[in-house]
Amino acid sequence: GKLGQPEGAAANLLHANPRQRSMIFTKLFLFLLLPPPKKEFEELLNQSRRCFDLSCQYQVRLLRLTATSADKNFERSPYKILQCRKARIVRANLKRRHFQLIFIVQHMIRLMLGSAHQTDVILDGALLLCALHNDTTVQLGQSAPQNEGAAVCSNTFAGLQSQPRRIDVGAILQTLSKRRSEQCCLALIGCLLATCRMEMSIPSADSDTSSVEILRALTSHLQSPLGRSASPSRNVATTIPPSDTEDPSGKFFDNLAIEMQQGHTGIESEGNLLLERLIGDEENFQAGILIKCLKLCPSVFDKQSSKEDMVKWINRGTRNLWTQVGSTLEHVVLWWSSAPLACQPPSHTKYLRDWLLMVQPDDAPEPILSTLRGLGETLTMYVTTTTWDKQFRLALVSTTLPIDYSYENSPEFLPLNAAIAAHRATGSVAGSLWCDVLSTLTNFSNSCDQGTIPNELPLVEQIPILHRLDHSIHTMRLWAAEKAKALCADWNMKMFFRVVHRDVGACLEHLRDLRVPQLVPPDPLEVHIQVCVSLRAKLVSEIKINIEKLKQTAAQCIVVLSSVCSTTSLATLSLCFPQVKVWQTEVLQEKASDYVAHFLDEIYLPIVEATKDIEILGLTLKIICEAWLDHIYTKRVKFSKCGALNLLKDFDGVAEWIRASTSVPVEHVETLAKHEVLRMCEGVGRILLRKPEEVISMLPGPQYIKPDPEEMDEKPPLPPEMFVPNQIRWLELRAKNRRALNYFLCICGSGTESY
């Protein structure tokens, strides 16, 4: 119990000067910033080991002192009680310092393994610290009771709320893979460029400067952002092409385009050798790490490692490395360079993504093949966002501009001039932009649906695509409906049918290529996959609903056309229809009046020139003629016999105009010239020639010509009057017989004179 005894010495040591007590911790922390020479590091390592040993010894002695002072059989005294309390406090402080030192060692191990300037000295030092950490952890587990639970040291060491664990070889390989992945990304890009360089001996005549920019953006990644070289332990052949744009390597992406068009993206055997050499170098690197672990820190292994265990750890480390490469490669390609690909036009990244998804199993070894496919799927999110943002913005801007706006002088649409010129002959410019949006999203979605097993599909990348597709279809449908109404109001039938038929039809044609198969039900335990599948199913159902609404848009626009056509016809007739007295004249005209041709040229000719659909042509002809008859009846025009005959000739002028027009399709001329509505107009004219009490026969009059035997079986056609509904009201438009009235007045006058 005296200070000269071991228990008293431990208490005296712990209650000494704090600066002397924390000397080792300060030296260890300074090593994190400035790595000392090997001799100083070994001295610091020995001091740390001695500090851990002394801490464990003193904790055991203090625990024994506490237990002895609390024994009921031992003589109780105030001094013993004070000694027990002081020993408990000293042991708690010592234990807290012990855990803090373990935390510092752990933190330094992570920093050394993930150091930007990785060398053999730093790696060996990290492994020696791992050996110290594991020995201390084992010693702590043997000395400390098993039922103490968590050891909370302070608020600044939240990571030590549980007992420290031994660092195994898996944690070391995983930490090294995180730092190694960036260098491996650079080497992989260099191997891909070298792989395809053999195809570039013949320059392509169809190339442009965009491919050179893509190549520059990729080759710039061969140099890391900090300007450091690759690890000396890896001897991978990477070549940086010269800056001359005439070099054959500048045709990299042009040759890829030719290969995609020809359906060939094979990689030669020399390229496979480069990729296999890269995999072999990384496996050798993992094997070297394991050898160092066996030599410097054997405690990271659970048991005595055999050859099979070493192969298993090499495969596991390589798999972790390529997993880290897959998650890092996107950032390297897009952002981590002096000329990132994200600063290039979105089409460049889209081109790279399409090429990566076309890589076949024979084109690259398995670890790299999975990494490249993962990169292609990861780039899908970036490509979808950037491409859709640009195309959707241009489509929205085009909808606010006039329908006949000249896009040639607009710098924003300059890259699309070729596509706009190609679509201008068949559809509107805004419609072609909407088609591009839907076509791009459809292709992106189809590239994500390569099966029906949810675990094998990139559902996370496909969900934003489907969401944007649903929004784009809805917006395009609203634009088509509103633009059709505006064009009808202006009676711009040329652009109306381009929007309703060509643009909507082209969008539906692209949407027919959309593949959204029903997926296999996922495992109920995989909550994330189950949520993604449910969200995908919801988006697919909304897309199908919007597609059905888009199919109905054309019919709705035709209904609007019918209403506007009737109103426009009545308005035109109110301006060009002859005055009432013209129809009460006794003069017969030899041909149709001039207003008939003017009326048809204003209303019907734009429709005939814009569409060749016989149903729409017949519908609009019926609406025009019915509006003609409504105008006559509404104005209550009175017709004399000659006026009725002149009206019949005007009605016949419609058929003559159809036959004489060069805009009417030849195959539809007779169908339109003999349309049912023209028979109804003829029937109105004949009713105006009849007397009110005259009965209309449903059979034609007797024929005195011997009929043809072949026509005996045919039913006789109905008279035109039968096509007119409510025939009685048209009899009210007969003008009184002025000639008979004048004759009657003359007779009355002569009889008066005789008397």
Determine contact, residues 652/596, Cβ cutoff 8 Å: no
> What confidence score (pLDDT) does residue 234 get?
39
Residue whose pair of structure tokens reads 């790595």 in the numeric block = 35
Q: What is the mean pLDDT of residues 263-285?
A: 65
CA separation for the pair 274, 543 (Å, rounded): 45
Q: How far, in Å, CA of 683 to CA of 719, rounded? A: 8
Q: Which residue has the higher pLDDT, 517 or 719?
A: 517
Higher pLDDT, 233 or 86: 86
Nearest to 533 by CA among 469, 449, 473: 449
| Mean pLDDT score of the chain | 74
In which element (H, E) is residue 23 found?
helix 23-33
Residue 205: the pLDDT is 40
Q: How far apart are CA 396 and CA 433, in angstroms?
A: 9
SS3 718: coil
**How far apart are the C-alpha atoms of 548 and 554, rounded to whole Å?**
11
* Residue 262 neighbours by CB under 8 Å, 6+ apart: none
36 — alpha (psi -120 to 50), left (phi > 0) or beta? Answer: beta
Q: What is the mean pLDDT of residues 10-33?
A: 48
Q: How far is CA 283 from the centre of its chain?
A: 37
- Does the pLDDT of residue 15 top 60, yes or no? no
* Average pLDDT estimate for 53-64: 80
**pLDDT score for 750:** 47
Q: Are the beta carbons of 229 and 302 closer than 8 angstroms?
A: no
**Residue given tokens 């009175």 in the structure block:** 638
With a CB cutoff of 8 Å and minimum separation 6, the contacts of 742 are: none
Grouping H, G, I as helix, E, B as strand and the rest as coil, residue 639 is strand
pLDDT value at 56 more than 50: yes
Name the nearest CA neighbour of 595 among 644, 645, 646.
Answer: 646
Residue 172 to residue 118: CA distance in whole angstroms: 14
Q: Given this model, what pLDDT does residue 3 score?
A: 34
Helices (H) and strands (E) in the chain, counts: 26, 0
Q: Tell me if residue 703 falls in helix, strand or coil.
A: coil
Which comes out higher in pLDDT, residue 147 or 68?
68
How far apart, in whole angstroms, are the C-alpha atoms of residue 471 and residue 474?
Answer: 5
pLDDT at 574: 92
Is the pLDDT assigned to residue 619 strictly greater than 70?
yes
Lowest mean pLDDT among 20-29, 511-520, 716-725: 20-29
Residue 506's nearest CA partner among 426, 574, 575 is: 426
Residue among 499, 344, 381 at smallest CA distance from 435: 499
Buried b (16+ CB within 10 A) or exposed e, 66-79: beebeeeeeeeeee
> C-alpha angle with apex 173: 171 to 179, nearest 5 degrees?
110
pLDDT surpasses 90 at 537: yes
Helices (H), 449-582: 459-489, 493-497, 504-511, 527-576
Of the two residues 372 and 645, the one the predictor is more confident about is 645
> What pLDDT, on the 0 to 100 scale, is given for residue 185?
80
734: β partners: 639
Q: CA–CA distance from 83 to each of 2, 12, 56, 70 (Å)?
A: 11, 13, 20, 10
Cα–Cα distances in Å, from 673 out to 61, 562, 657, 658, 733? Answer: 117, 20, 9, 6, 27
Place of tokens 């426009």: 568
In this structure, of 262-271, 444-453, 520-529, 661-670, the range with the lowest mean pLDDT score is 262-271
Q: Could you tell me the pLDDT band of residue 36, with boundaries at 50, 70 and 90?
A: low
User: What is the band of 93 on the pLDDT scale with cuts at 50, 70, 90?
Assistant: confident
Higher pLDDT, residue 104 or 15: 104
Pick 566 or 309 by higher pLDDT. Answer: 566
Question: Given pLDDT bands bounded at 50, 70 and 90, which one contains residue 494?
Answer: very high
Asked if residue 484 lies in contact with residue 496, where contact means CB atoms within 8 angstroms, the answer is yes
- 593 and 647 Cβ atoms separated by less than 8 Å: no
Interval 369-417: pLDDT, tens: 778 888 888 888 888 999 999 889 989 988 888 877 766 666 666 555 5
Q: Each residue of 723-747: pLDDT tens digit?
A: 677 766 777 777 665 554 444 444 4
Angstrom distance (rounded) from CA 72 to CA 621: 117
Answer left, alpha or beta for residue 47, where phi above 0 means left and psi between -120 and 50 means alpha: alpha
Amino acid 737: pLDDT: 59
> What angle (nearest 5°) sits at the alpha carbon of residue 608, between those of residues 436 and 660?
150
- Report the C-alpha gap between 646 and 586 in whole angstroms: 10
3-state SS string for 345-357: CHHHHHHHHHHHH
| CB of 232 closer than 8 Å to CB of 280 | no
CA distance 620 to 672: 11
Least confident stretch, 155-169, 362-376, 476-490, 553-567? 155-169
Distance CA 179, CA 146 (A): 37
Query: Residue 330: which pLDDT band, with cuts at 50, 70 and 90?
Result: confident
Q: Which of 67-71, 153-157, 237-241, 702-706 has the lowest mean pLDDT?
A: 237-241
- pLDDT band for position 499 (50/70/90)? very high
- Residue 41: per-residue pLDDT: 74
| pLDDT surpassing 70 at residue 508 | yes
Alpha-carbon span 472 to 463, nearest angstrom: 14
- What would the two tokens of residue 333 be? 């390609």
Task: Please name which of 593, 634, 461 lies closest in space to residue 535, comparing C-alpha atoms.
Answer: 461
**Is the pLDDT confidence value at 348 over 50?**
yes
Residue bearing the bigger pLDDT, 244 or 491 = 491
- pLDDT surpasses 50 at 276: yes
Which residues, listed in sequence order, are joined to residue 639 by a DSSP beta bridge?
734
Q: Tell me the three state secondary structure of residue 37.
A: coil
Q: What is the pLDDT of residue 203?
A: 43
Tokens of 490: 């202006």
The model's confidence at residue 547, banded by pLDDT at 50, 70 and 90, is: very high
Q: What is the pLDDT of residue 484?
A: 94
* pLDDT tens per residue across span 673-697: 999 899 888 888 888 887 655 545 5
Under the banding of pLDDT at 50, 70 and 90, the label for residue 75 is low
| pLDDT of 621 strictly over 90 | yes
Say if CB 86 and CB 12 are below 8 A apart.
Answer: no
Going by pLDDT thresholds of 50, 70 and 90, the confidence category of residue 17 is very low
Question: Could you tell me the sign of the dihedral formed by the alpha carbons of 322, 328, 332, 333, in that order?
Answer: positive
Residue pair 98/54 in contact by the 8 Å Cβ criterion: no
Q: Are 439 and 387 contacting, i.e. CB atoms less than 8 angstroms apart? A: no
Phi-psi map region of 588: left, alpha, beta (phi>0 left; psi -120 to 50 alpha): beta
pLDDT 10s digits, 168-218: 888 888 888 877 877 788 777 777 666 655 444 434 444 444 444 444 444
pLDDT in tens, 104-131: 888 888 888 877 667 778 888 888 888 8
| pLDDT value at residue 496 | 94
Which of the pair, 409 or 160, is modelled with greater confidence? 409
- Nearest CA-CA partner of 9 in 58, 50, 60: 58
Spatial separation of the C-alpha atoms in residues 509 and 198, rounded to whole Å: 40
Please answer whether residues 722 and 683 qualify as being in contact, where contact means their C-beta atoms are separated by less than 8 angstroms.
Answer: yes
Q: Report CA-CA distances (Å) from 696 to 126, 498, 691.
A: 113, 46, 10
Q: How many CB atoms lie within 10 A of CB 56?
A: 18
Tens of pLDDT, residues 568-615:
999 999 999 998 888 888 888 888 899 999 999 999 999 999 999 999
With 0-12 / 13-18 / 19 or more C-beta atoms within 10 angstroms meaning exposed / middle / buried, residue 609 is middle
